[in-house]
Structure 1
Amino acid sequence: MNAPAASELPDGVSGLGRSDLLAGRVAVVTGASRGIGAAIARALGAHGAAVAVNYLRNADRARQVVRDIQQLGGRAESFAADVTDAAAVADMVAAVAERFGPVDVVVNNALHSYTFDPLSRRTAWDIPWADYSAQFTGSVGGAYTVCQAAIPGMRARGNGRIITIVSDLIERPGVPYHDYTTAKAAVVGFSRNLAADLGPFGITVNCIAPGLVPGTDSSAVATDEQRDDLESATPLRRLTTPADVAGAVLFFASRWSDHVTGACLFVDGGLVMR
């Protein structure tokens, strides 16, 4: 099969190149049928990893991501599982291990259902605790469930990478989505505790906090004026792309980040500097 031209490369691969950087590694990407998750899965596949493309409902999109990776000469397969369902996740991790080998890299990207709308959002004085609870279950609970399934194998082999996608809203709540942002901040705390416990086993745990990414659920209701204002406020003068996030994942998934754990990397063009 001839390699596709650069202009034909799918989102998340163009600009990031191809290599064997992750050859022999097996990665699970949750919520990988579209958006940022799909870009991450494609990038991991383009750099040699065998990729488990997890999805909840959209099997067709997940299969398309698999085909994109295979077009690049990579290995991939789609796996349906609700990341908050411990039994389903355990079955998925076992199926991935049977298909490709033990899981080396986990990317927690799955997003609990949420409506990003600054005009209809709940304010601090009217948001019920049930909204917070739902987001904690989806964000922290989902990451917890996937990690619990993958950690035993990583510990046994003395190596592993856990990467979780959060949001730069945890440091710069331009729109105060109280429940969503609080849950994402909790994921960072969860990840740092994992990093402290798992470091002696050669397992690193890090987070990536993207800015607003056009074409995703979080940006669907943003107006052109709002996007222009955000670009103007961004030191690098552009919004975040799925490929930007995928590039950060490649770093954390590879040997180049061997001595980095407990970090939260902001990928937002400099909106958050810390």
Structure 2
Amino acid sequence: MNEAFGAKFGRQDGNDNSITMSKFEAPAGPNSEFKGNSLTMSSFADVILQDSKMNDNRIDASKVEDLHLNDSQLLKLGLAGSSFDDLQMNKSEMIDSHFHGCKVSDMKLADESHINDVEFNGCSLKDISLVKESQFKSSGLNGAAIHDLQLSQSVIEGMDMQGVAMHDVSLEKATLKSCVFRGTSLRDVRISDSSLVGVIITADDSWSLRKKGFTDVHIENCQLQKIMFVDCTLSDVTIRNVNVSDLKIQKIQLADVEIDGNEAFLAACGLSK
């Protein structure tokens, strides 16, 4: 392995480097590969990849910014105690990666891009956008905070969220499928012309969020299928023109709720018609 300490460093092939307290210059352009590198207390910025791969890299206590992927893959990335700012993915995918104690901001997926099998533990995520048939699948968020999540004509599927605080969320013409929310706080949420299928929302006392449940949530023109609420609190919620089927409820508290549709959301979740 090639090593650098306290200097600007880069190799044309971008493979098997160990960089500490340095600025790393990765390969850029078409048909590049960035593999088996370890960055510690370093910076990694201004990278544009086309038809390329980033595979099996480790980044600790470092700063990553301005990473643009086009028709490219980011595989087996391990990121801990680092900041990751301005990740743009077009027709690209991130697979089998792990973020621990990181700050992630300005991440945009477009043109059928995918995030698959990725874990975010103890992370702060801000300004996250999925558009144009992009997907966030089979992934997990634990003890994370999400602010400003925008989903348009895209899918979140198979997501497990535990102890997550989500603020300022917008879903438009989107699909939320087979997801579990445990001990989660959702505030300032707008969902329109979308489908929620196989979603479980439940309290979980093992997470010490100051506020849990749904607050300031608007759901309009949506399909709600196979939804389960368990010990949930909904306040300042507006639900209009929804089509509900196979709804299951085990203890729900409603406060300041406006409902219009599907027999007033099955008589305000008393399930009577």
Q: Which has the larger Rg?
A: 2
Q: Identify the TM-score tier after normalising by the shorter chain.
A: under 0.3
Higher relative contact order (CA 8 A, sep 6+): 1
Higher fraction of strand: 2
Report the TM-score when normalising by structure 2. Answer: 0.24
Report the TM-score when normalising by structure 1. Answer: 0.24
